[in-house]
Structure 1
Amino acid sequence: MKNLNRYALHTAVIMACGLGAQLANAGATISFGEDKYISAGFGFITSYSSVEDAAANGKDRSNDFVLDSARLYLSGSFNKYIKGMLNTEKSGGGSDVGSNVEVIDANVQFQLTPEVAIWAGRFLSPSDRSNMAGPYYSMGGGYWNGIASRYGWNGGVIGRDEGVAMVTSFLEDHLAVSFGAFEGDNIFRFSGVGAQSEAAGSKDKLMYAGRVQYDFWDAEPGYYGTGSYFGAKDILAIGIAGRYKQDGVVSGLGTVGDYTSYSVDFLLEKKDVGPGTFSVEAAYYDYDTDNAILAEQGKAYSAAVGYLFQQEIGWGKFKPFIRYQKFDADGTTTAATNVRTSADTKQYEIGASYVIAPYNAMITATYGKTDYSAASDTNFVKVALQMQF
């Protein structure tokens, strides 16, 4: 009975957290019997932003309301061993220009044992915490960490890929290990350097990806992650992730190279620190394109510090934070002159979230500055509303 209860707990956590934590509060569940059901929900992030010199005349501030994200969530269960999900997203790199609705998750999970599952279909391949959490579950919410963690926008269909992976959890969910093989043919989809093209002379190789994470304090069950527990847990976790694809880079000049990346991420979140919960996260990334695309090769860094006040004010609680990210690219190459130029990018942000319901109802305001070594710096103000039902 103890093992059966533990198995049921695993299954419940995987469906709530493992599915990207996207169905934390599903809108409706229709049951067809024991362990047979279909759940549905939806979520969106909409924002107002004002960016320096971004108006059409090139010298005034822009003023824009944007639907950054809109998702439909579906999940189902045949029995306690076989689950599945189908999720969609308004795509297009966060812009309405060229946007459409795409399937971002369509997969099945075979729970072989309480500790071991096989995922197959389209889903997030193992990567850093920021990408596994996504915009809905990052510190501050509504946040695309696209400068340092380049998998989210650049790694296929908003970080997703077609493939198969083994997802495991040991030591009472304190040790998580995942590894899989994926198509990996859209690594630079939104980066501006062009998608992969295996027909351009490269070999048809698979991309291999893996992640190992250890939780020293409270455990984090589930495959997809989160950037904050809002005082529900004490977290001290370190994760290491890596990806490799032979001939995974095809530049616009026809240069073919191997793609390799790895990252190390850290999260500390401690409740009851003074009148609230203190959190800090950091990550280091190394991207290697075999010198085929210098603009996507280099080292990156990110860090964030936040504090959630437990005292409710009105409907919710306030969580101020600061964020920093940098991508130190090896440079870009001008085709006409074959000359390398610098392409470093830094971004600083300070803001606060008003948390009405963790993950599901949040308003976040930020002020930030983006420094480009190859272009003029800009500052921006952004207010985002995040809702999930």
Structure 2
Amino acid sequence: MVAQYPGMWSGRDDGATLWGKLAHDRFRYMAGIYKVHNWIDGGSGSGHNPLFAGRIEYNFLDPEPSPAYYTASTYYGKAHILAIGLAGQYQVNGVGSALQKGDYKAWNVDGLFEKRIGTKARYDVYTLEAAYYQYRTDGVCDIASSFNNHKADYGNIGGINSGTAILVSTAYLIPWRVGWGRIQPLLRYQQFRFAHHLYGPGNPKTRQFDAGANYVMDGHNLRFTFDFARYTPASGTQSDAFLLGMQMQY
């Protein structure tokens, strides 16, 4: 909900990325150039100005056990983490239509703290994550993702809002096993506050609160998730949902 970074699917896009690690892998960086947002007839990106993105991060404790271009919100006790990151994106004529276009500018700062307590054979893990985001669209409202009958579920089209957002989450990996895995209760709060000059007075905002648990069998490779989500849009009409998910990768 808080992410307004453009992408074809889940923030991903076509492009090229340079990444690496320095200072005994504690300093991580990435910089890239990517396909245009709103690259469609009648969209602001018809001039094909590329999207530029970058991120830097420093780990004050152990280096994160992942590549520089990939981060995670937990490592399940594989390392002691205290990481601070700064990211940004910019695209000329990145939002709006061909008739009313604006530059897209965004940045965020985020932090991750994770501490393993106990012995190597039996330990618990505390995790705390927080982030602040800011998005600017030159005072222009972006087009809808279905602009010109474009398929709303595919393509780097529309959907960016001007405003600020915050995310705070915490989790606790219980030290003992239950069956084939371990339980990780979690809480998360997200909020997006729209820019009042575009979306009405009073800085309308959307909020979502999540409470649930992961059943972790093999880290990120295999886990099940149960989540209760309470969503409150800017209109104020609250809705609740129960979600059951599975993540498997190899």
* Class of the TM-score when normalised by the shorter of the 2 chains: 0.7 to 0.9
- Alpha-carbon distance in 1 for matches of 2:169, 2:234: 23
Asked which structure has the greater CA Rg, the reply is 1
Question: Normalised by the size of structure 2, how large is the TM-score?
Answer: 0.82
Corresponding residue to 2:219 among 353, 358, 375: 358
Aligned partners of 2:34 and 2:51 also within 8 Å: yes
CA distance in 1 between counterparts of 2:89 and 2:197 reads: 23
1:277 aligns with: 125
C-alpha distance in 1, partners of 2:234/2:91? Answer: 29
Indicate the RMSD between aligned Cα atoms, in angstroms: 2.3
Does 1:377 find its partner at 2:242?
no
Deviations 1:133-183 (A, max 9, x none): xxxxxxxxxxxxxx11233xx423331222222212101111011112222
Structure 1 portions without partners, runs of 5+: 1-146, 186-194, 334-338
Q: Does 1:239 align with 2:239?
A: no
Mean Cα displacement is larger for which, 340-349 or 360-369?
Answer: 340-349
Quote the residue 1:328 is aligned against. Answer: 193
Aligned to 2:10: 158
How many residues align structurally? 226
Aligned to 1:21: none
Q: Describe the shift of the 1:218–1:198 C-alpha distance in structure 2 as closer, same or farther (beyond 3 A).
A: farther
Q: Which has the higher helix share?
A: 1
Equivalent residue for 2:27? 175
In structure 1, how many angstroms separate the alpha carbons of the residues matched to 2:228 and 2:165? Answer: 21
8 A contact 2:44–2:102 mirrored in 1: no
Counterpart Cα distance in 1 of 2:170 and 2:246: 21
Describe how 1:219-368 pairs up with structure 2 within 5 A. 219-220=63-64, 221-222=66-67, 223-251=69-97, 254-272=99-117, 276-293=124-141, 296-330=161-195, 340=200, 343-368=204-229
Change (3 A) 1:298 1:196: farther
**What is the deviation of 1:273?**
6.4
Deviation beyond 4 Å, 4+ runs, structure 1: 198-202
**In structure 2, how many angstroms separate the alpha carbons of the residues matched to 1:357 and 1:291?**
46
Structure 1 residues 261, 201: CA separation in 2 closer, same or farther (over 3 Å shift)? closer
Output the CA distance in 2 between the equivalents of 1:200 and 1:330: 22
Question: Contact 2:30–2:56 at 8 Å: present in 1 too?
Answer: yes
